Structure 1
């Protein structure tokens, strides 16, 4: 059985930078965001189900999922989020499990912004939170993404509060500094996870 570490953090926290570092250590990283995009590609059963449930407007001219239209709709109709998640979450979970089961590295990382909000954390033996203050999330995410501060605030608002995430994480890395600071904190954790993985 592969030892699995859940990696999470809010928008703009640096979760992707941490994931990339673990990949450089030759650790398998399964990214739930990437899986979530894969399961709604053209022709996938989940996309067909979304179209059936919400209507043809969820598709763009190429027949792909119109993410911005769907995101706007969900913000205006909060109940639609649960309907969408009922379609996508089981498919995402199955794909994540399949990929984790194929791990050949000593342990594997499940990177997910909604690790603690969903039952994905139940797939993990340990959870690592990449943590930054909310104001820094806003600055970084607005610089990186083509989204306004207001849109990012709305995304943060629907995610689990920072303090609650801190309570539920086994390990917390403060990513308020430079990338080098982040890597220095990840190095001992990587060694610790290698030890934990060999003890199961």
Structure 2
């Protein structure tokens, strides 16, 4: 099963996108619809709302007057938090029930308008944000819902910003243009990314990667991708994670690298590493089989766990290392030294390009060929760490 978080601002066209995903075969769960269901007449949810806000939030038939309630909570953070404390747990339980009923091979798309505002993005291995520029949203809502332009702009201002949504978006779908263009984009996304992602997760296999090493030019999006993935693995690992870091070359701004985000989770021991790795499908990562280890500078092997991406559109290696292994400290030391010393980074980039040009038959061979340079750099980095007082 793959769970997809779908969100977007008012008037962006999220419902249109949800409808197309439903046609393509997704199991659609609408948080707004559930939020209405859990406060229908006769429910415990409605009783709790009336107890908190009074009978004035009911209409003549005894149903919830959502407009009246909305006016009470719209500009009052305290009252809105009180409402959320009632409704959100009820919605969450119903959502989880529907997810369980969807089956193990489902693509479950959860339509959640306030996904960003409520900090829910790390709960989903894939987040799809539907966007439209503000003027388009205003024009749509004035024409389709009869809202005033000033009311629309006030509602837009009360929601998450575009920057907030971009920060959590694995897919940023611009729906400002013709509907047919959006449908075409969605169809490609479904067949090329979503369906393979779900199949890989269910089978427990890593998404395919290039057979040979390819060095890419520095990409600022690497840091954003790493941040989103780190939030997901931290949510899954919970208190078992002593720390989660973006490591490797993609963590060094301006450094050429393979287009693979490396994350590191430090845990108490190897047994915990195994447990955490086994739970990472909830973050879109699958535990790699067999034994994995790091070879220290002294030649000693240190066991670790490794989980990799099921998502065919974002390569990730997640190294889960026991606290006793020196490898986690070395990974951070090398990263920070290269961040602080651009000349060393340029030297490393030149080495990687030379090695990649030789056409190594596997990534493991390429990695082994870098070992002597990395060990020498770590020795220099040790001296730098003492000089500047570096700590991991």
TM-score range, shorter chain: over 0.9
Number of the residue aligned with 1:154: 154
Match of 1:166 in 2: 166
Residue 144 (structure 1) aligns with: 144
Is the 8 Å Cα contact of residues 130 and 173 (structure 1) preserved in structure 2?
yes
1:33-52 equivalences under 5 Å are 33-52=32-51
Cα displacement (A) at 1:73: 1.5
SS in 2 for 1:114: coil
Is the Cα–Cα contact under 8 Å of residues 32 and 92 in structure 1 kept in the other structure? yes
Secondary structure in 2 matching 1:102? helix
Q: When the two structures are superposed, what TM-score results if normalisation uses the length of structure 2?
A: 0.49
Q: Is 1:133 matched with 2:162?
A: no
Q: What do residues 54-110 of structure 1 show as CA deviations (whole Å, max 9, x unaligned)?
A: 100010010110111111112343321111111111111111111112114531100
Secondary structure at the residue paired with 2:120?
helix
Match of 2:178 in 1: 178
In 2: Cα distance, 1:121 partner to 1:35 partner: 19
**Is 1:3–2:6 an aligned residue pair?**
no
Measured against aligned partners, the alpha-carbon deviations of 1:144-178 in whole angstroms (never above 9, x if no partner) come to 22422222222212211012101210011110111
Separation in structure 2 between the aligned mates of residue 52 and residue 190 of structure 1, nearest angstrom:
44
User: In 1, Cα distance between the equivalents of 2:65 and 2:136?
Assistant: 29
Unaligned runs of 5+ in 2: 202-392
Q: How many Å separate the matches in 1 of 2:92 and 2:35?
A: 9
The aligned counterpart of 1:190 is: 190
Q: 1:124 — aligned with what?
A: 124
Cα displacement (A) at 1:48: 0.5
The aligned counterpart of 1:111 is 111
In 2: Cα distance, 1:106 partner to 1:34 partner: 20
Unaligned runs of 5+ in 1: none
8 A contact 1:106–1:194 mirrored in 2: no
RMSD, aligned α-carbons: 1.4
What is residue 81 of structure 1 aligned with on the other side? 80
| Aligned residue-pair number | 199
Determine which structure has more spread, i.e. the larger CA radius of gyration.
2
Q: Are the equivalent residues in 1 in contact too, given 2:6–2:112 (CA < 8 A)?
A: yes
Deviations 1:126-154 (A, max 9, x none): 10011111121111122222422222222
Paired residue secondary structure (2:60)? coil
Structure ranking higher on relative contact order (CA contacts 8 Å, 6+ apart): 1
